[in-house]
Structure 1
């Protein structure tokens, strides 16, 4: 964790369930470099991360 305040964040990865491939959350990166998961429901242990697809 850095000493800079967290002001803005953007999603950088989708969090998917390994068993069902359903979306269960997003991984955000804050302006100071910190990473934080944002779960749609409860946190899950068996997940995989997939990069966000950038719009053209």
Structure 2
């Protein structure tokens, strides 16, 4: 964790369940470089990270 305040964050990766391949959260990167998962429900350990889909 950095001493600089977290002011803004953006999702940089999708967090997907390895078993069902369903979306379970997003990985955010904050303005100070910190990374933080944001879970849609309960946190999970058996996950994989995938790049964000680009808008068409």
Equivalenced residue count is: 56
Structure 1 unmatched ranges of 5 or more: none
Report matched runs for 1:1-56 at 5 Å: 1-55=1-55
**Cα distance, 1:34 vs. partner?**
0.1
Partners of 2:54 and 2:8 in 1: CA distance:
19
**Cα distance, 1:54 vs. partner?**
2.7
Normalised by the length of structure 2, the TM-score is 0.94
Normalised by the length of structure 1, the TM-score is 0.94
